[in-house]
């Protein structure tokens, strides 16, 4: 049977390597199946036992079944072995299994190099500042492991190894910054095909009673907006995201015509708008959806983005990473003023054969206003305002005939309840209407930008009126106008606001310290998103234009190369100067301190004088301290020229302990030395 010679990795090197592996997979802790952590513990313990010579590496048969089990586990958990989640999980499992196949030194180097790739996969899922800082720490540990594997057994020490890794990382930072700033931003030529099923919070393709109210319990950031010039007031901040046109009696959902592939971009000639304009830049957090948020009516300068006939921006690829884009909004506009197609009319007046009481109520109400659509819409809003309807984040559950149950029984609901009921009442009398999902309002930061969070989620409606086109109507304003004017936290009297975020700084806004801390942290996170993660072509051009007149590719390349050459020259000079310095051995430094004490008493060591000859002179000159001089000289001689075990090949760890003990003893002897005749 073939046997393998196992690479005798040093103890410190193994510790660094195992810590590196643990930290590298820890960043994926919330995304991995529990079985991966079981495999990680087994592999780490197994590798430690191999080092202790208690166990042996698994054979080929065992390793084969481990690989098969990995593929089966990943497939059962994700339903596929493709895609970012499944692919990263398989990579991590292979990474762990390599610990059990570390026969040669090159295997250890392979694990360290693979660690860089495992750490980099974290950016497929998170680009936050906190995540990036953690990644930097892990990269530092990976580099330390690489340094440790290149050190001899005598020189490998954790502190020294980490110091070298830190120096290497610091030296690489200037080069990294130059490449980051000047290298052109190129869109990837491949796609991860991220599925929208990965979305865990935020608006979705459909909405049922209570769905939007659940978002008010979260303070997760959705996007930030920075305005160039005039800023809208709270009542103008209607961030349109998705149009719900289909209703099955309980759930409102998007129509197929709003998908990127099946929709056509609208003709801008069909929209009339005034000169009032808001210009802004949005930095949108990943939501794994295809729609983009903007104020109405907007234009967005992004490739592969369509403005559908329901005035929703659809993107070809899902928003799986931080996305930055500029927009121009014309809030005073008229769309389809005189005509909508029969298809649109049918789609926006269609109702299921449910909720009979609401339909009867609608017929009675429109009869009272002689069929006037504007007066009818006002009468429905007035009904909401005067008939004891309550705005709450914790409405009673509605099972069947949800519209009837809400309008005539519970009369308690969130914005989605009122918007859905209003659209139903409009459609019941033949008025085209649709529900709009998005966010309303936002929190202006002291630095000037606007932050929109999940608790700003909102639903409103649009109705089509001949001569006016599609008109926005917000039924929530009729019941709780303070929601539109002041924000969601000032509306409800219950304690349900932000219940999913009990530690949210928003709940401690009366504390000056917490409010100030929250403001600073949010500003730092915004700058990180704005200038690092969101550093795209337009941001790069904006930044470079501040320092370079008439930016051209030739100028950018020239400046980049000059800066790189300058950095390399400085680093080269630094390395040469460091090599030219002769570092004083710590033990020699202690002995020189001892010599300085004797020199202060008038006895100087002559150039080239041996340590024992100097001891004899010192003992003759100061006989009272002869024993102390002898102990100091003997300790220095043992430490500097003859460490125990160096010849007999004792355990490296035991030798290190002995040397440290003797060094401490030498320090003590010199510190306690008081010379007198």
**What residues are annotated to the active site?**
415, 458, 474
Q: Is the dihedral of CA 216, 219, 223, 226 positive or negative?
A: positive
Give the helix ranges, DSSP H, for 183-243. Answer: 211-215
Q: Contact 535/185 with Cβ under 8 angstroms?
A: yes
493/529 Cα distance (integer angstroms): 35
Query: What phi and psi values does residue 449 have, to the nearest 5 degrees?
Result: -85, 160
| Cα distance between residue 305 and residue 103, in whole Å | 52
What b/e string do you get for 302-331 counting C-beta neighbours within 10 Å, with b at 16 or more?
A: eeebbbbbbbbbbbebbbbbbbbbbbbbbb
Task: Provide the 8-state DSSP code for 30.
Answer: T
Return all residues near 591 (Cβ < 8 A) that are at least 6 apart. 611, 632, 636, 640, 666
Other Cβ atoms within 10 Å of 222 Cβ, number: 26
> Which are the contacts of 560, defined by CB distance < 8 A and separation ≥ 6?
178, 179, 182, 183
Tokens for 88?
A: 């990263």
Question: What is the C-alpha separation between 457 and 92, in angstroms, rounded?
Answer: 37
Helices marked H in 150-283: 158-182, 211-215
Q: What is the CA radius of gyration of the chain?
A: 36
With 0-12 / 13-18 / 19 or more C-beta atoms within 10 angstroms meaning exposed / middle / buried, residue 444 is middle
188, 189, 190, 191 alpha-carbon torsion, rounded to 10°: 60
Give the CA dihedral 485, 490, 491, 496, nearest 10 degrees.
140
Q: Considering only CA atoms, which of 36, 292, 12, 260 is closest in space to residue 153?
A: 12
Instruction: Identify the helix (H) or strand (E) that includes residue 21.
Output: helix 11-26
User: Please, what is the Cα angle at 54 between 48 and 58, to 5 degrees?
Assistant: 75
63 dihedral zone (left: phi>0; alpha: psi -120 to 50; beta): alpha
**Closest listed residue to residue 28, CA positions, set 119, 160, 158, 144:** 119
Cα→Cα distances 504→218, 219, 512, 614, Å: 9, 7, 14, 70
For helices 537-545 and 158-182, the axis angle rounded to 10 degrees is 90
Bridge-based pairing of strands 252-253 and 246-247 is: antiparallel
Contact in structure between 90 and 81 (CB atoms under 8 Å)? yes
User: SS3 letters for 86-152?
Assistant: HHHHHHHHHHHHHHHHCCCHHHHHHHHHHHHHHHHHHHHCCCCHHHHHHHHHHHHHHHHHHHHHCCC
């Amino acid at each position: 049977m073939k046997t393998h010679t196992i690479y005798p990795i040093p103890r410190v090197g193994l510790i660094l390597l195992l810590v590196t592996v643990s930290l590298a997979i820890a960043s994926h802790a919330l995304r991995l199946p529990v079985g991966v952590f079981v495999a990680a513990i087994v592999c780490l313990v197994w590798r430690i036992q191999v080092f202790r010579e208690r166990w042996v590496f698994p054979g080929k048969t065992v390793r084969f079944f481990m690989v098969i089990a990995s593929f089966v586990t990943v497939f059962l958990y994700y339903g596929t072995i493709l895609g970012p989640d499944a692919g990263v999980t398989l990579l991590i499992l292979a990474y762990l299994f390599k610990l059990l196949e570390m026969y040669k030194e090159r295997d250890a180097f392979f694990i360290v190099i693979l660690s860089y790739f495992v750490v980099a996969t974290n950016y497929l899922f998170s680009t936050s500042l906190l995540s990036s800082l953690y990644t930097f720490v892990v990269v530092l540990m990976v580099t330390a492991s690489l340094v440790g594997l290149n050190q001899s057994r005598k020189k490998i020490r954790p502190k020294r190894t980490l110091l070298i890794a830190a120096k290497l990382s610091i030296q690489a930072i200037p080069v990294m910054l130059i490449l980051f700033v000047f290298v052109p931003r190129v869109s990837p030529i491949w796609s991860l095909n991220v599925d929208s099923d990965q979305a865990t919070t935020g608006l979705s393709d459909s909405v049922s009673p209570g769905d939007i109210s659940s978002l008010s319990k979260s303070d997760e950031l959705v996007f930030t907006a920075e305005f160039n010039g005039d800023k809208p007031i709270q009542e103008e901040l209607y961030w349109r995201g998705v149009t719900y046109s289909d209703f099955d009696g309980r759930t409102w959902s998007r129509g197929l015509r709003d998908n990127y592939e099946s929709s056509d971009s609208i003709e801008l000639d069909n929209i009339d708008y005034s000169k009032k304009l808001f210009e802004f830049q949005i930095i949108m957090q990943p939501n794994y959806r295809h729609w983009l948020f903007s104020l109405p009516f907007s234009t967005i300068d992004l490739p592969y983005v369509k403005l559908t006939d329901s005035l929703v921006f659809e993107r070809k690829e899902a928003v799986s990473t931080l996305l930055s884009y500029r927009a121009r909004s014309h809030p005073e506009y008229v769309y389809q003023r005189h005509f909508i197609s029969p298809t649109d009319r049918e789609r926006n007046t269609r109702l299921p054969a449910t909720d009979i009481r609401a339909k009867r109520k609608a017929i009675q109400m429109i009869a009272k206003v002689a069929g006037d659509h504007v007066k009818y819409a006002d009468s429905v809003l007035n009904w909401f305002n005067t008939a004891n309807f309550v705005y709450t984040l914790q409405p009673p559950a509605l099972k069947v005939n949800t519209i009837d149950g809400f309008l005539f029984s519970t009369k308690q609901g969130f914005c989605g309840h009122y918007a859905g009921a209003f659209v139903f009442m409009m459609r019941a009398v033949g008025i085209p209407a649709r529900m709009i999902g998005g966010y309303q309002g936002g929190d202006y930061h002291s630095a000037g930008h606007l932050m929109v969070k999940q608790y700003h989620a909102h639903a409103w409606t649009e109705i089509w009126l001949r001569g006016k086109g599609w008109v926005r109507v917000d039924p929530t304003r009729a019941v709780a106008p303070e929601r539109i004017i002041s924000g969601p936290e000032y509306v409800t009297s219950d304690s349900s606001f932000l219940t999913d975020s009990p530690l949210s700084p928003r709940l401690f806004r009366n504390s000056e310290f917490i409010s100030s801390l929250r403001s600073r942290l949010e500003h730092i996170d915004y700058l990180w998103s704005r200038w690092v993660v969101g550093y795209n072509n337009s941001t790069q051009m904006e930044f470079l234009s501040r320092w370079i007149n008439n930016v051209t590719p030739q100028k950018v390349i020239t400046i980049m190369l000059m800066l790189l050459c300058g950095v390399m020259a400085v680093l080269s000079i630094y390395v040469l100067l460091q090599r030219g310095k002769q570092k004083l051995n710590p033990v020699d430094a202690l002995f020189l301190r001892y010599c300085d004490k004797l020199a202060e008493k008038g006895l100087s060591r002559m150039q080239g004088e041996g340590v024992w000859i100097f001891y004899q002179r010192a003992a003759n000159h100061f006989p009272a301290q002869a024993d102390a001089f002898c102990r100091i000289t003997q300790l220095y001689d043992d430490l500097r020229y003859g460490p125990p075990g160096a010849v007999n090949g004792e355990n490296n760890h035991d030798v290190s302990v002995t040397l440290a003990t003797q060094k401490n003893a030498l320090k003590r002897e010199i510190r306690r030395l008081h010379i007198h005749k």
